[in-house]
């Protein structure tokens, strides 16, 4: 292999992990995947080692020991990659133990957790005058009164940790229309052990949902970045992108880069934002500090975020594109986009004309790759079986 250090990728249960694996392997990095069970996306030809390990939540201490024992057998420290929020939390919770044996760019213990958390994020955004949607924690003693008088209805209930919430309810948020529904949903979340908060809705169509994806170096420079806008998402209105496009939105740089500079952030991050149609204000909605849905889009456009992360970790030079124009590049996750299209049509939010107007033959797919077809075929077989089983 071209590099002495291995890449250890935590999680291949989603196409994000697959994109990380591919775009490291294509550059000559030896990739090891670590999962708690076999997954459809772990069969990439770019995986050199496929390890089944203890569960990151149920067997946290055992997983730490597993990773340390693996690293001890390597001639050079491996680079550790998180592909989901819960893996970021795992790395933060075991920062000192893992940092002794693994490399990754973040050198500020606890910073990533603070950026991920909507409440603690405010201590960084408020001094900079960055607008964020008003939120009220579920344990606020005046929750109902404050929601009635400060947020109004409809509003949304969002989780602090998306993955367990989505696994439990098959939805990323709850839309709440009145006080009775608010109490009902909050009580349910408490019973189920879900930590949530209530948030104001930013009004506007899907096309007003943006992302600013950036790689920050140790000097606080935005080495590489691009911006995108959503076309469709699933679940609709409050979900993850299923169809999006690269679109240059210059205002986002001046909102996001000062935030990362102010906290000394190093590594890859994505900021999700939305423009409110009522006042034309762009609100910062969320910060992701792990690899994201658009990883394949990044790499397609000359912004190989996994490789920048890897080279940064091992102390080698790296660079990436800064996309300052519209290049008409589209990205799609076909499996969930089919469900999204049906829902938009059934609710009257989109027409067939709207769907066809954004159709492009040439797209960056989330899963398919001509040089690595097996993961797509494995997932396709699972999807077909899953549909018939349901």
The model's pLDDT over 152-179, given as tens digits with 9 standing for 90+, comes to: 999 999 988 777 888 888 788 899 999 9
Going by the DSSP 8-state scheme, the letter that residue 231 receives in this structure is E
Q: Report, as an integer, the average pLDDT of 169-190.
A: 92
Q: Report, as an integer, the average pLDDT of 32-39.
A: 90
Say if residue 376's pLDDT is above 60. Answer: yes
Q: β-strands 31-35, 47-52: how paired?
A: parallel
Per the prediction, the chain carries an average pLDDT of 94
Say if residue 104's pLDDT is above 60. Answer: yes
Percent of the chain with pLDDT over 90: 85
Ordered alpha helix ranges (H), 238-288: 251-263
> What are φ and ψ of residue 368, in 5° steps?
-70, 140
Q: Report, as an integer, the average pLDDT of 191-208.
A: 92
Sign of CA pseudo-dihedral 85, 89, 94, 96: positive
Tokens 């600013």, residue?
A: 212
Q: Supply angle C-alpha 25, 30, 32, rounded to 5.
A: 100
Say if residue 386's pLDDT is above 80. Answer: no
What are the strands, taking DSSP E only, across 235-324?
Answer: 240-246, 267-275, 282-288
Give the Cα separation of 43 and 50 in Å (integer).
Answer: 8
Q: Supply angle C-alpha 278, 324, 368, rounded to 5.
A: 90
Give the Cα separation of 71 and 102 in Å (integer).
Answer: 7
Give the Cα separation of 171 and 235 in Å (integer).
Answer: 7
Q: Which helix (H) or strand (E) holds 379?
A: helix 374-389
Q: β-strands 222-234, 209-216: how paired?
A: antiparallel
Say if residue 78's pLDDT is above 80. Answer: yes
Say if residue 224's pLDDT is above 90. Answer: yes
Q: How confident is the model at residue 338 (pLDDT cuts 50, 70, 90)?
A: very high
Alpha-carbon distance values, 350 to 97, 208, 333, 353 (Å): 50, 15, 18, 8
Q: Report, as an integer, the average pLDDT of 5-24.
A: 95
Give the Cα separation of 245 and 232 in Å (integer).
Answer: 10
Say if residue 275's pLDDT is above 60. Answer: yes
Residue 94: burial class (beta carbons within 10 Å; 0-12, 13-18, 19+): middle
Quote the pLDDT of residue 387. Answer: 65
> What are φ and ψ of residue 224, in 5° steps?
-150, 140
Tell me, yes or no, if the pTM score tops 0.85: yes
Quote the pLDDT of residue 219. Answer: 95
Residues 356 and 350 sit within 8 Å (Cβ to Cβ)? no
Beta bridge partners of 386: none
Percent of the chain with pLDDT over 70: 99
Say if residue 186's pLDDT is above 60. Answer: yes
Tokens 């929750």, residue?
A: 143
Give the Cα separation of 213 and 131 in Å (integer).
Answer: 18
The radius of gyration of the chain from alpha carbons, rounded to an integer in Å, stands at 21
Going by the DSSP 8-state scheme, the letter that residue 322 receives in this structure is B
Quote the pLDDT of residue 381. Answer: 83
């Amino acid at each position: 292999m071209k590099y002495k250090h291995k890449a250890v990728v935590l999680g291949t249960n989603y196409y994000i992990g697959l994109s990380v694996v591919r775009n490291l392997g294509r550059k000559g990095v030896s990739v090891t995947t670590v999962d708690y069970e076999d997954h459809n996306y772990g069969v990439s030809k770019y995986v050199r080692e496929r390890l089944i390990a203890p569960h990151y939540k149920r067997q946290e201490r055992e997983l730490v020991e597993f990773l340390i024992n693996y690293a001890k057998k390597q001639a050079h420290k491996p680079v550790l990659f998180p592909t989901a929020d819960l893996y970021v939390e795992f790395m933060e919770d075991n920062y000192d133990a893992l940092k002794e044996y693994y490399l990754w760019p973040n050198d500020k213990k606890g910073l990533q957790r603070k950026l991920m958390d909507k409440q603690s994020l405010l201590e960084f955004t408020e001094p900079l005058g960055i607008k964020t949607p008003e939120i009220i924690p579920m344990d606020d003693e005046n929750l109902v009164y404050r929601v009635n008088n400060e947020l109004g209805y409809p509003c949304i209930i969002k989780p602090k940790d998306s993955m367990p919430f989505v696994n439990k309810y098959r939805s990323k948020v709850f839309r709440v229309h009145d006080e009775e529904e608010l109490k009902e949903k909050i009580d349910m979340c408490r019973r189920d052990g879900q930590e949530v908060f209530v948030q104001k809705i930013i009004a506007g169509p899907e096309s007003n949902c943006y992302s600013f994806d950036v790689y920050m170096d140790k000097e606080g420079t935005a080495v590489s970045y691009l911006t995108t806008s959503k076309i469709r998402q699933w679940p609709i209105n409050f979900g993850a992108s299923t169809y999006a496009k690269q679109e240059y939105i210059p205002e986002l740089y001046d909102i996001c880069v000062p935030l990362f500079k102010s906290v000394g952030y190093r590594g890859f991050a994505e900021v999700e934002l939305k423009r409110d149609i009522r006042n034309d204000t762009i609100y910062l909605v969320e910060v992701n500090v792990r690899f994201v849905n658009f990883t394949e889009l990044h790499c397609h456009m000359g912004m190989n975020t996994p490789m920048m992360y890897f080279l940064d970790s091992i102390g080698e030079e790296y660079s990436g594109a800064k996309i300052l124009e519209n290049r008409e590049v589209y990205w799609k996750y076909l499996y969930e986009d089919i469900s999204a299209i049906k829902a938009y049509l059934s609710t009257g939010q989109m027409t067939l004309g709207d769907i066809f107007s954004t159709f492009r033959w040439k797209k960056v797919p989330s899963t398919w790759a001509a040089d690595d077809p097996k993961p797509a075929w494995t997932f396709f077989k699972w999807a077909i079986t899953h549909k018939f089983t349901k």
